[in-house]
């Protein structure tokens, strides 16, 4: 069937449609569940892990479990994914992760959360997200690229087994699946203890399933295509820069999974917010100083490109395929967020934007 669709419409439209579908699912689930790494770190910093931590655990481990089950059953092969096959940077993962974690505390949301909130009418999130995107582009191809490349070159790791945690640790194929089950049960137990609404528990799991679906969709298309198609899943910094650059520099939008994903997440979040009566225009104010958000956006934009992805791209999508640099990056994001929160004191421990 995929061959027929490719023959009829071509790879690019099919990838764009897949990204749009996964984005709609992710955006709707992330908005309803309030999925946000920054909010989870705030709960941990205050020694009161609760609903936000439970949702993050459910999203992360459902992504890990579903992705590893697909690999174990032969439905998915991620050996060609950039996070595993290409040369990686541990220095980038550590330094970029620390910067990203600090930035998301200052901006009161990670890159994915900013995009989700933009769909609910939050102008603060929209402006901050645009700055993240511009800095990410400057870090990838512009004036900040030399600095990023210099830091990334400090400690590199070759692609292949050296970036695969399962291979490095000598884990059998079922071990990651078992770990995913254990983590998912921990998330469910935390959700039960804090009486998290069932709909939010389910939505947290759907966030992770969207990540697994992204891997499976791009792999399925790549498997039957005569073109070389990169295997990818949900991530935001790179696709956001691609989408912005395409909109301002191209007469015809070049379709891809990432370019379908970004508007899909925005639309999914917007539809959910409208359906639940949560759509509302929100602006900068005295208690939400723009300069703090902009500093956070700069740190996140540069940090994400250095770390190989945002809190979802590296932290969840990369983590789900057991990429070494992704796990190092997400650990560094946690460390950067907790350290920044401690330095700022209780003033930074405000609820995540909603």
pLDDT digits (tens, 9 = 90+) for 190-222: 999 999 999 999 999 999 999 999 999 999 999
**pLDDT band per the 50, 70, 90 thresholds, residue 346:** low
Question: Percent of the chain beyond pLDDT 70?
Answer: 97
Rounded Cα distance, 157 and 145, in Å: 20
Average of pLDDT values for 256-269? 96
Average of pLDDT values for 217-237? 93
Average pLDDT of the chain, as a whole number: 93
For 67-82, write each residue's pLDDT tens digit: 999 999 999 999 999 9
Rounded Cα distance, 337 and 176, in Å: 27
First and final CA of the chain: distance in angstroms?
A: 41
Average of pLDDT values for 50-57? 97
Average of pLDDT values for 270-292? 93
User: With 80 as the cut, is the pLDDT of residue 16 above it?
Assistant: yes
Rounded Cα distance, 279 and 322, in Å: 36
Q: What pTM was computed for the model? A: 0.94
User: With 70 as the cut, is the pLDDT of residue 354 above it?
Assistant: no
**pLDDT band per the 50, 70, 90 thresholds, residue 45:** very high
Whole-number pLDDT of residue 247: 85
User: With 50 as the cut, is the pLDDT of residue 351 above it?
Assistant: no
> In terms of residues, how long is the chain?
354
Whole-number pLDDT of residue 59: 98
Whole-number pLDDT of residue 250: 78
Q: Are 75 and 212 in contact (CB under 8 A)?
A: no
User: With 50 as the cut, is the pLDDT of residue 307 above it?
Assistant: yes
Rounded Cα distance, 61 and 67, in Å: 10
| Cross-strand bridge partners of residue 157 | 88
Whole-number pLDDT of residue 353: 44
Whole-number pLDDT of residue 245: 86
**pLDDT band per the 50, 70, 90 thresholds, residue 5:** confident
User: With 70 as the cut, is the pLDDT of residue 349 above it?
Assistant: no
Q: Are 269 and 263 in contact (CB under 8 A)?
A: no
Question: Percent of the chain beyond pLDDT 90?
Answer: 87
For 99-123, write each residue's pLDDT tens digit: 999 999 999 999 999 999 999 999 9
Whole-number pLDDT of residue 333: 98
């Amino acid at each position: 069937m995929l061959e027929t669709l490719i023959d009829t419409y071509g790879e690019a439209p099919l990838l764009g449609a897949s990204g749009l579908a996964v984005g709609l699912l992710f955006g709707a689930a992330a908005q309803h569940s309030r999925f946000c790494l920054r909010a989870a770190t705030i709960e941990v910093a205050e020694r009161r892990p609760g609903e936000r931590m439970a949702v993050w655990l459910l999203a992360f481990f459902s992504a890990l479990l579903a992705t590893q089950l697909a690999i174990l059953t032969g439905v998915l092969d991620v050996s060609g994914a950039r996070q595993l096959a290409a040369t990686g940077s541990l220095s980038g993962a550590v330094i970029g992760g620390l910067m990203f974690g600090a930035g998301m505390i200052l901006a009161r949301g990670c890159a994915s959360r900013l995009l989700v909130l933009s769909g609910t009418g939050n102008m603060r999130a929209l402006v901050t997200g645009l700055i993240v995107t511009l800095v990410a582009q400057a870090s990838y191809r512009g004036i900040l690229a030399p600095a990023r490349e210099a830091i990334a070159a400090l400690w590199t790791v070759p692609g292949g087994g050296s970036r695969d945690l399962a291979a490095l640790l000598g884990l059998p194929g079922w071990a990651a699946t078992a770990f995913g089950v254990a983590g998912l049960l921990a998330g469910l137990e935390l959700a039960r203890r804090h009486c998290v609404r069932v709909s939010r528990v389910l939505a947290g799991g759907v966030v992770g399933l969207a990540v697994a679906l992204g891997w499976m969709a791009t792999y399925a298309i790549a498997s039957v295509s005569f073109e070389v198609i990169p295997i990818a899943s949900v991530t935001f910094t790179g696709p956001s820069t691609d989408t912005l650059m395409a909109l301002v520099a191209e007469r015809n939008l070049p379709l891809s999974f990432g370019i379908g994903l970004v508007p899909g997440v925005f639309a999914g979040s917007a539809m959910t917010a409208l359906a639940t009566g949560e759509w509302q225009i929100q602006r900068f104010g005295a208690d939400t100083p723009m300069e703090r958000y902009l500093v956070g956006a700069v740190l996140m934009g540069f940090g994400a490109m250095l770390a190989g992805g945002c809190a979802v791209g590296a932290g969840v999508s990369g983590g789900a395929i057991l990429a070494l640099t992704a796990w190092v990056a997400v650990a560094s994001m946690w460390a950067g967020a907790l350290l920044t929160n401690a330095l700022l004191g209780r003033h930074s421990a405000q609820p995540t934007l909603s």
